[in-house]
Amino acid sequence: MRAIVDKILAESLSIKERFIRRNADRLIRASEKIATAMAGDRKLLLCGNGGSAADAQHIAAEFVNRFSLERPPLPAIALTTDTSILTSIGNDYSFEQVFSKQVKALGMAGDVLLAISTSGNSPNVLEAVKAARALGIYTIALGGGDGGKMADMVDLPILAGGGSTARVQEAHILAGHIICRLVDHILFQSHLSGE
């Protein structure tokens, strides 16, 4: 069993290192867009399915509560959390619309949507991206592989490349933590360091 653990560790470290090195500039750009939105009284919307839904909620919590420094709460909403909204839309319309209807209700020009999908082909995430773009919301994707359909639909794709779903999700949460740290830096620390 130790060999299994060692193999998983090696795979995780490898995909995360490749992902971050390949996407460092994109992570910085994503952080700048999110920080600009938040500084301008706009917000971050997040969505995803399964483990990516949990990542959306995790990242939103880091912004609303705090990440690594004491600072005011920042506006972020995970569209994956309200079971009454999700189930009513899924029941009355379709599961494909569970995020797009929320984007239409809550989103506005100047906001940012962070769409998370390991395949890049989740219909409800794609519909959220379409709705966001129609409203003038900047769209960022955290994806795996070649990004699927989502990569060509968003303003800024950030792709983890190949690997199992679990390894891609591990890379995504690392990216989420980097984005949180950079947004904190841009909004609350860059003026202290002279950047």
Structure confidence at residue 192 (pLDDT): 53
DSSP annotation of 151 reads: H
Q: How many domains does the chain have?
A: 1
Q: Are 113 and 79 in contact (CB under 8 A)?
A: no
pLDDT tens-place string over residues 71-124: 999 999 999 999 999 999 999 999 999 999 999 999 999 999 999 999 999 999
Whichever domain contains 110, its CATH number is: 3.40.50.10490
Nearest to 51 by CA among 10, 88, 80: 80
Distances (CA, A) of 50 to 89, 118, 162: 18, 10, 19
Q: How many CB atoms lie within 10 A of CB 191?
A: 9
Distance from C-alpha of 77 to C-alpha of 1, rounded to nearest angstrom: 40
Per the structure, the complete domain to which residue 129 belongs is given by 2-193
Hey, what's the torsion of the CAs at 145, 146, 150, 152, to 10 degrees? 170
Q: Please determine, for residue 191, whether its predicted confidence score (pLDDT) is greater than 70.
A: no
Structure confidence at residue 189 (pLDDT): 86
- 156 forms beta bridges with 140
pLDDT tens-place string over residues 125-157: 999 999 999 999 999 999 999 999 999 999 999
Average pLDDT of the chain is: 95
SS3 102: helix
What's the predicted TM-score (pTM) here? 0.94
